[in-house]
Amino acid sequence: MNLTSVDNPSPKALGHSLKPPSMFCKEQRTQFVLRAIDQAHEDRELMLGRMVLLSRCNPNVSRCPSLSLPLTLLLLMLWPLFGLAQDAILPPEQPWNGASQALIAPAGDPWITPAEQADFRRTPRYDATVAWLQRLELASAQIHMVPLGQSPEGREIWMVIASQDQAFTPEALRATGKPTLLAQAGIHSGEIDGKDAGLMLLRDLTVRGTQKKLLEQANLLLVPLLNVDGHERFSRYARINQRGPEESGWRTNARNLNLNRDYTKLDTPEIRAIVHALNMWQPDLYVDMHVTDGADYQYDITWTYNGPQGHSPSIAKWLDQVLSPAAFAALQHEGHIPAPFYITLVEDLNPNKGRTQSLDLALVSTGYGDVRHVPTILVETHSLKPYHQRVLGTYMFLKSALETLGQGSRELRQAIQEDRDRRPATQTLSWKQLDKDHLPPSLPKAPFQGIEYELVPSAISGTVRVIWTGRPVELHIPVIQLQDPEAQARRPKAYWVPSTWPEVIERLRWHGVAMETLTEAREVEVERLKMQKPVLARKPHEGHIAVCIADKDIEPRHRRQKYAPGSVRVPTDQALGDLAMVLLEPASPDSFFHWGFFLEILQRTEYAEDYVMEPIAEKMLASNPQLAEEFKHKLLEDNAFRSDPKERLDWFYTKTPYFDDQWQLYPVGREEDPNNPRTDRVESPPKDKDRHTSTCQDGD
C-alpha cells in the first residue's frame, strides 16, 4: 500500500550543507573512486570490516588500508558488541534538559516503574509489565484491568481502566458523563515509549496522586501493549535506527503481519480486539503511540490526524483548533520540541523541496478513526532522541490530551455527532498522491527545525552517504497539502452482500456495521459492477494478493437479484455508513475487493471447444454485419489478436449467451438511492495516472 503518512518512512535527510557529488574536490573524488575499486576487487573482505575502516580513512592518504583475513574474522566474532556500540553509530545526540524530567520518580519510590528503575536503559518484558500493573490494580480502587482478547501465541491483551468513579464497564463509564481517552501502545512493539509513559501516568493519576485532578474530568483507557507477541520477540537487534531502550520487541506480530495495516481487513486477533474495544467503550479520543525513524531533525515528538478534507471535518476542526495547540503549548512548556504534523519530505536529500501533509487510508489507525468518526491521533516520537526524552514527551502528550478532553468535551462531542450524522452524496475513497514532476508553482512555506548534514562519497552504496552534524538549522520550507480526491463513489441506499461470502459479512459485523440479515430469500433490484480490467499485484502484501481496479474500468449493470437466506443488507444511513462504503466499494484501496477477498470471481470455469465455436462464429458473422465489421477492424488493428487463434475464437465466445455472465461481476449489489441517482455528474476527477493499477504493478 502506497502510504505517505505512516511511521517508519525510508530514511530522509535535511539540512543546508548540501554537496552534490560533482562538487567534491578532486582529491575526494579520487579517494571515492579508489575506495570503490577496493570494494569491487577485494571481495574476500567482509563489508563489516570495510565499513569500519572506511569511516576512519585519512582523507590525505590515497588508499585505505586493507583488512587481513584474521582481523576480519575477529571483527565478525566481535559483531555482538556492535549492538552495544549502536549509540556511537547513530547521529549525534542533541543535548536536552527538559523540565518534564521532574516527572521521573526518585530512586526508592515504592511506585517507581521498571523503566524509571532502570534509568530508562531498559523497558520491562510482558510479564513484568502485567505484574506491575496488577500490583497497581490491587493498590488503587480507581484502576481495573480487563482482557480485550488473546494473541495468536495465547497472551492476554490487557486494557487498564483509570476511573475516579470506579466505572469499570462500558455502561458505567458512559454513565459518568466524563469524556474517555483510549491510548494504545506497542502496535509496533519495538516502538514502546507509550507503554512506559502510560505506566508512569497511571501511577501519577492514582497512587502517587500528582496528576489525580485529571481523573476528576476524564477517564483513561490504556492498552499498554497491543502487539504482545511481537513484544516478546525481544532483542537488542529489533530497532537498528533507534536510541534505546537497549532491548525491545519486533514490529510485526507472530504471523509477521503489520497490525497497523489491518484496520480494514481485520485478519489479526489483536486488531479485532481493539476494534471491539472501540465499539464497546466508545472513547471520545483514540491515541496510537509510535516511534518514527527517518531524517534527523530537532523535533522530539510529532503527531498527525486526518484533516478537514477527510471523512470527519468537524472532528478535524476541533483537533486543529483545540487539542493540537494545547498539546503543542504543554510540550513546549516542559522543554520538548513538538511538531503538530508528521514529517514526510518530498525529496529525501533536499528539504528545500518541502514536506507533504496527506490523509491516511483506513487500513491504518488514523484513517480508520477518521472514517468511523472517532477522533484519532498518531503520535510519533523521534527514534534518534534518547529513550527518557521520548517517554516523557509521550507522557506530556497524554497528560495534555486528558486535560483538553476534560475541559472541552462538550464541543468535541458535538463535532463527533455532526460527523456521524453527515451523509455525503459522494464519498471520497482515496486521495491523490504526490506527483513530484508537477508540483504547484507557488506553495506556502513554514518554518522547519532541521539538523544540518553533509553528503560524502560512499564506497558501500557507490553513491553518497548522509552525515548528520548535530548542528540545529532553522529552515523555511514549502508545505504541500495532499487532499484532492482520487477515487470517489456515489452513495447508494444500501449494499447487498450474498451469504456466499461469509468472511466478508463476518468482518462487517466485527467492525460494528449495522445490517439486516435475511431469514428467507428475497429478490431485489440492484446495480452490479462488472470489473473490466482488474489487475493483480505481483507480490503478496500483508498476507493478501491485492486486486486493483480503476473507476473507469467498472461498468454498472442493473439486474434483479435473488439473495439467499443469510445474505445481508447494509444500509449506508448509519454512523458507520462511510466505513461501509470504504469497505464495499471495489475502487476503494481499503475495500475487501482490493484485499483479494473476491479472487474467485476472477477465474473462468467454462470454455467452448474450437469445433463448436467455429460454426457458431460463422453464423454470427453471417447474421450480424456490424459484428463482422468489428471483427475485420480488430484483425487489422490488433496484431496480437490476429496471430492468436484462441483469442480470435474466444472473442466470439464471449459474445454468446453461453459465456459466464458472473465472470468478473462483483457479487456485492448496490441498492440505488432514488434521491441520489446516477447522473451525468463526473464520478471521479480526471486522473493523471492510474494509481491503483500502478500500485498493483509495483507488487504492493
* CB 188, min distance to Zn ion, A: 4
Q: Please name the residue that has the C-alpha cell 478534507.
A: 309
- Of 629, 638, 505, residue with least CA distance to 565: 505
Rounded Cα gap, residues 682 and 489, in angstroms: 10
Q: Which of 596, 421, 427, 567 is nearest to 508 (CA)?
A: 567
Min dist. Cβ of residue 360 to Zn ion (A): 13
Instruction: Considering the complex, state which of residue 187 and residue 513 has its C-beta at the smaller distance from Zn ion.
Output: 187
- CA geometry: angle 321, 366, 152, nearest 5 deg: 150
Strand partners of residue 147:
158
Alpha helices in 140-227 (DSSP H): 170-175, 193-205, 214-217
> Could you tell me if 355 and 477 are in contact, meaning their C-beta atoms sit under 8 angstroms apart?
yes
Q: Tell me the closest approach of the beta carbon of residue 8 to Zn ion, in angstroms.
A: 6
3-state secondary structure of 306: coil
Contacts of 88 by beta carbon, 8 Å cutoff, 6+ apart: none
The DSSP secondary-structure symbol of 431 reads B
**Shortest distance in whole angstroms from residue 382 CB to Zn ion:** 12
Closest contact distance (angstroms) between CB of 405 and Zn ion is 24
Cell 428475497, located at residue: 522
CA-to-CA separations, 174 to 178, 262, 369, in angstroms, rounded = 7, 28, 19
CB of 196 to Zn ion, least distance (A): 16
In angstroms, what is the minimal distance from the CB of 334 to Zn ion? Answer: 23
Chain residues binding Zn ion by CB under 5 A are: 7, 188, 191, 290
Residue identified by cell 497490525 is 259
Name the residue nearer to Zn ion (CB basis): 377 or 549. Answer: 377
Give the shortest CB-224-to-Zn ion separation in angstroms: 16
Q: Grid coordinates standing for 521? A: 430469500
- What's the per-residue H, E or C state across 470-514? EEEEEEEEEEEECCCECCEEECCCEEEECCCCHHHHHHHHHHCCC
Residue 40 three-state SS: helix
Q: How far is the CB of 380 from Zn ion (least distance, A)?
A: 7
**470 vs 447: CA distance, rounded Å:** 18
> Using CA atoms, how far apart are residues 531 and 548, in angstroms rounded to an integer?
10
Task: Kindly state the smallest distance separating residue 190's Cβ from Zn ion, in Å.
Answer: 8
Whether the CB-CB separation of 445 and 695 falls below 8 Å is answered with no
Cβ atoms of 666 and 528 closer than 8 Å: yes
Q: From the centroid of its chain, how far is CA 620? A: 53
Smallest separation, CB 9 to Zn ion (Å): 11
**SS3 assignment, position 238:** coil
**Cβ-contact 168, 144 below 8 angstroms:** yes
3-state secondary structure of 147: strand
> Which of helix, strand or coil describes residue 45?
coil
Smallest separation (angstroms) from Zn ion to the CB of 198: 16
